Every structure is written in structure tokens, then in C-alpha cells.
Structure 1
Amino acid sequence: MSASLKRRALAEAVGSAALVAVVVGSGIQATELSHDVGVQLLANSLATVFGLGVLIALLGPVSGAHFNPVVTLAAWFTDRRTSGGLTARDVCAYVPAQIAGAVAGAVVADAMFGEPLVRWSTHDRSAGHLLLGEAVATAGLVLLIFGLSKVGRAHAAPVAVASYIGSAYWFTSSTSFANPAVTIGRAFTDTFAGIAPGSVAPFVAAQVVGAVLGLVLVASLFGRQSHPAQADTSSSHGEPELAAPTLP
């Protein structure tokens, strides 16, 4: 990768912060403008789709635009024996940057709307069906991103991944967090998009299970070899840049 690790980690932090600011900020705006929960979710999901697509297209060439610890870990795991994949050092830089960025994004969103900068969410999301929704959402995300790389269509990731997340808002019971860093960040805001701290660990566990299932599906459907056109170009959220396929 042409960018230094410091620059790539910064891109992951900035991207994660912007993503959570979009999710939390649009949720606050939606609740201020409408009392209809369906309209609120629609506004929140549309803002997330457009924001995520832009962030992937912009920062993909720098860091791969993971913005997601399970994506980073999956990318490292799949290419750990290759010379061009993510290293353990990369993972140790990416994951803390993603989490710190997500927390910062929630704080900034609260500040923009005059909310307390940090107030633990009271939105309990611990029900079993919600955890199943998170596992399904994360499995689908991993399958999509790594599958695109396998068939030589990683360039489509900005649109494809953003579209998938937008649809998963509606077809999963959990509204598709599918991201441990985003989950942690959303615990810091007691607004529409928040999640109670007590629900964070179960959500993250479900996301990890979903990521493993997604990788199993990728191997089962596409085999172990990457598409020739993508042998040395792929990215976590899809821009051709990294040597490892990655993942919203």
C-alpha cells in the first residue's frame, strides 16, 4: 500500500467518525422533524446509504475504507499468509482507530444538535431476535464485500455495500449495525440511534459470529482463489487498492 500506516489509521479514524456522525446525527434530525417511527427510520437509513457510499469512494484508496473491526480482522485472516495482505501491525493500528473514531463521531453528532456530549444510551437491544438480526446482517456484509473481490467486481463496492446496508436497515430486526466500532460509538448517545451499554457485548458477539459465517459462505461459494483481475487489488469496502479483500 502506498500510504503510510499512520495515514491509513487516520483515514480509518476519520471515516469511522464521519460514519457514526451520519448515523447518529440523521437519527436526531429525523426525530426532531417527525413523530412517525417509519419516517424516522427511512430518513436515518437514506442518510447512512449516501454517507457510507461517499466515504468508501473517498477513503477506499487510502486505507481500504474498512471502518469496521470485523472487516479488518477478516481481511487479515484471509490473506495472513500472503505478502500483500494486512499485517498484525496493521490490525493493531486500524481497530483502535476505528473505535476511537466511532466514539468521536457520536460526540460530534450530539454536539451539533445540542445534546449532552456523552450520555449513555438507554435503548436496550438485548433480545435474542435482535442478535440474530445482527448475525445475519454481518454475514451478508462480509459475503458481499469479499464476494465482490472474488468475482473481480471490487470497484462496485461503494454502491453495493451502501445499498446493502440501506436494505439491511429494513430487512433485519436489529436495523443492521454490523460493525463493532459503530456499536460501541452508538452507546455514547442516548438518542434515536443509541444502544444501551449492556447490549453492546452481545451485539459485538453476534457480529463476530456473523463475520465467521460470512467467510464460510465466501469460501463455499467462490473457493479460495481470488479472481485473476483482483489478485493484487482489492479493498475492504471495495476500492481497488489493497492486496487483501476486505469489507459498512
Structure 2
Amino acid sequence: MTLARKAFAEFIGTAGLLCAVIGSGIMAERLSGGNTGVALLANTLATVFALFVLIETLGPVSGAHFNPVVTLVMASRSAAADEPWVRLAMAFIACQLLGAVAGAWLAHAMFDMSLLQVSTKPRDGAGQWLAEAVATAGLILVILRAPAGKAAGLVACYIGAAYWFTASTSFANPAAVLGRMLSDSFAGVAPASAPAFVLAQCAGAAAGVGLARLLRETPPEPLCAPGNSVNRP
């Protein structure tokens, strides 16, 4: 597959994910009557279902990263890849960030909201940052340890659970931070909170890689190796 096709799959997948996260948050907030718990539950379910579908659908094309830290982790394990992994990783990350913005705008358009927004919802504090590190570490561990063919379900289930057991509701994704920063809605995050979230996610990703190495029994596979998903062990 060409680099362009893989990168486009990352754009579509990230846009779809952010559209699901933000759009379901808007719908949940409107219909929940002020009950934050019900709104979060609806937001969680929509995200889990969308994530599973997107990974299953686009995984065979690009590996279904939809997340810059996932791409960086997989690229770091891909020195033996047939194609230049630096070029592939840069293209993936650029398309993920653009897709996150497009997904936020698409969600706004569907709900007749202003396309251009900036969130006013602060998410600050040591607990929030620790939660993002934990959420990202767990996500990377699940991706690297998922048995062949089971990554979509495991990743979706983990993210759904982490929505509830982390104080930050588990962004675990710098592209998601960007998209949600551009939405003044239920799922938003204020720009001032974004840098600490991204730093915590990077730290969590490093921790997840370390945990996977401690548990690893076989050598790592290259990024997007022919016939393989990046989400294999």
C-alpha cells in the first residue's frame, strides 16, 4: 500500500474518532438533563463502539494508530521495517492532527454549532496528569500485548474502562487533546491544560513500553509489516 493511502486512513480514522467523542458528548449533554454521570456513560459507549469499528475497518490499511504516541512507539520498534519509518511516522502524525481538527469541526457542523471554538473547560492538577500517564501507559501495554486479531476489542474495552477509572476520563492521545481543545463542549479541554496532558501522555507511553518489555517473550514486529497489524504482540 502506498504511503498516501496509509496516511489517509489515519486521517479518516482520527477524524471519525474525534467526531464520535465530541459529537456524542454534545448529544449526551443535551439529552441528559444535567446528569453528568448519564452524559459520561453515553459518551463512553459511543466512543467504545466507534473505536472498535474504526480499528477493525482501517487496521488492515494503516494499522489504525489514530494517536501520535502510538505511532512514535511503533516507529521506535521498527528499525527493520522495509519502508523508511521516519517518513511514515511523520506522515501519520500530521494526518492524525489534521484529522482531529476535522473531526471536531464535523461534530460541530452536525449539531449546528460554530465550527471555530476554543474550549473553556480546565482540566488541571496532579491527579489529572497522573491519570493521563496511567491511561496512556495502559493503552500502550494493551496494544503491544494484544494477541493477534484481538487488539480492536481489547483497546476499545480498555478505553471504555479508563473513561471511568481515571480522573481525566482517559484522553491518552495528543491528537485527541488537540481536537477536544477546539471544542467548547462536554468533551473539551482548555488550551492551558493541554501541554501538561501531552507531557503526561508521553511519560505514560514510555512507561507502557517499559512494562511491555518486561513481559515480552518474542522480538518486536516492524511498523506496518506486510500482512500484519501494528497491534500484534
TM-score by length of 1: 0.89
Q: CA deviation at 1:123?
A: 0.5
Out of 99, 102, 105, the residue aligned to residue 103 of structure 2 is 105
User: Which whole-Å CA distance do the structure 2 matches of 1:157 and 1:85 have between them?
Assistant: 24
Aligned letter for 1:131? W
- 1:57 pairs with 2:56: yes
Tell me, which stretches of 5 or more residues in structure 1 are unaligned? Answer: none
> Hey, what does 1:134 align to over in structure 2?
132
1:145·1:154 contact (CA, 8 Å) conserved in 2? no
Please tell me the residue identity of whatever aligns with 2:5: R
- Give 2:202's aligned residue: 208
Q: Does structure 1 conserve the Cα–Cα contact (< 8 Å) formed by 2:77 and 2:223?
A: no
The one-letter code sitting in structure 2 at the alignment partner of 1:64 is G
2: distance between equivalents of 1:208 and 1:180?
Answer: 9
Maintained 8 Å contact 2:74/2:222: no
Q: Deviations over 1:128-175 (max 9, x none)?
A: 100100000000000010012xxxx13101111000000000000000
Q: TM-score, normalised by structure 2?
A: 0.94
Question: Which consecutive residues of structure 2, in runs of 5 or more, have no partner in the other structure?
Answer: none
The answer to whether residue 154 in structure 2 is matched with residue 160 in structure 1 is yes
Are the equivalent residues in 2 in contact too, given 1:71–1:246 (CA < 8 A)?
Answer: no
Aligned length: 232
Match of 1:241 in 2: 228
Partner of 1:118: 116
AA of the residue aligned to 2:76 = F
Q: Which amino acid aligns with 2:228?
A: E
Aligned-partner Cα distance in 2 for 1:63–1:234: 7
Structure 2 CA distance for aligned equivalents of residues 181 and 246 of structure 1: 22
Q: Deviation at 1:109?
A: 0.3
Give the ranges of 4+ consecutive aligned residues of structure 1 lying more than 6 Å apart after TM superposition. Answer: 232-235
Give percent identity, aligned residues only.
48
Tell me the distance in 1 between the aligned counterparts of 2:182 and 2:191: 8
My pick for the range that moved more, 106-115 or 58-67, is 106-115
TM-align CA RMSD: 2.0
- The 8 Å contact of residues 66 and 246 in structure 1, kept in 2 or not, is answered as no
